[in-house]
Amino acid sequence: MLTIAHFSDIHLGQDHHGDAGERARRRAEQVVAYLDALPGPLDAVLVTGDLADHGLAAEYREVTEVLASRHPVLLCPGNHDVRGPYREVLLGRAPSGGPVNRLHALPGADVLMLDSSIPGRDDGLLDEETLGWLDRTLAGGAAERPALVAFHHPPVTLHLPYVDPIRQFGEERLAGVLERHPRVRALLCGHAHTGAATLFAGRPLLVAPGVVSTVTLPFEGVPEISFEQPPVLAFHLLDDEGRLTTHYRVVSPA
């Protein structure tokens, strides 16, 4: 059984309500503390983008502090992240503007973290370099070895007016790659600031809740972005039959 915790959109450095990012940091620390206090180990913690709010090197140094965990932590960029400082601070590599794509071989499954960001824009796209890397990397693994593909922007409409105009576009190209690789069991993403589940290319598409805030549906009759609801995270369980089951947990203050 592969066990993964998944959350997204911590936006460290965000200055809503005039607290200069302290609120965002507290909420992210709350989630990490909850995971570190679990009696059992996790195979990984996935954080699918918008780690920093402004893409500053100082924010990424804060990310390394806040996301320090006893569990392995896997990251990918979001639209608020900036590739140069992200790569330099979080990966210890020379800053560059190319996409940040990484393969993590976990016990029993490969996790491919993709960069769906477009520098300077809020919507998303998996560029040709990223799709080529995804295709080659999936082909390079054993056909019977399960794979999970993660990125920031959902490649479908979620019926959220605040999010849908800035989702991932060009999604038919991603679907074409996935058709060649049945070992992909599910797609994991963030960006929407709400937990959601749907299908994409015949696979589960699981959207992580946001930590810094929650985006609500029009019929809920509450503010479009709520800063009052508590953080939520997902637990993804991939069993020996290759079936993924997801549980969501509200993380209340200690």
pLDDT digits (tens, 9 = 90+) for 80-134: 999 999 999 999 998 888 999 999 999 999 999 999 999 999 999 999 999 999 9
170: number of Cβ within 10 Å: 16
Q: Using the CB atoms, write b or e for 94-121: b if 16+ within 10 Å.
A: eeeeebbbbebebeebbbbbbbbbbeee
Rounded Cα–Cα distance for residues 214 and 198 (Å): 18
- On the question of pLDDT at 210 being above 60, the answer is yes
Cα(187)–Cα(200) distance, integer angstroms = 8
Please state, in angstroms and rounded to a whole number, the distance separating the CA atoms of residues 48 and 42.
Answer: 17
Instruction: Dump pLDDT digits (tens) for 161-206.
Output: 999 999 999 999 999 999 999 999 999 999 999 999 999 999 999 9
The yes-or-no verdict on residue 76 having pLDDT over 70 is yes
Q: What is the pLDDT of residue 254?
A: 60
Beta strands in 70-183 (DSSP E): 73-76, 102-106, 109-113, 147-150
pLDDT of 4:
98
What is the distance between the alpha carbons of residues 145 and 148, in angstroms, rounded to a whole number?
A: 10
Rounded to a whole number of angstroms, the distance between the first and last alpha carbons of the chain is 29
Instruction: Pick 252 or 16 by higher pLDDT.
Output: 252
Residue type (1 letter), 184: V
pLDDT for residue 16 is more than 50: no
- Confidence category of residue 222, pLDDT binned at 50, 70, 90: confident
Strand partners, 149: 112, 187
CB contact set of 58 (below 8 Å; sequence gap of 6+): 13
Distance of alpha carbon 120 from alpha carbon 195, whole angstroms? 26
Torsional sign, CA 64, 249, 78, 183: positive
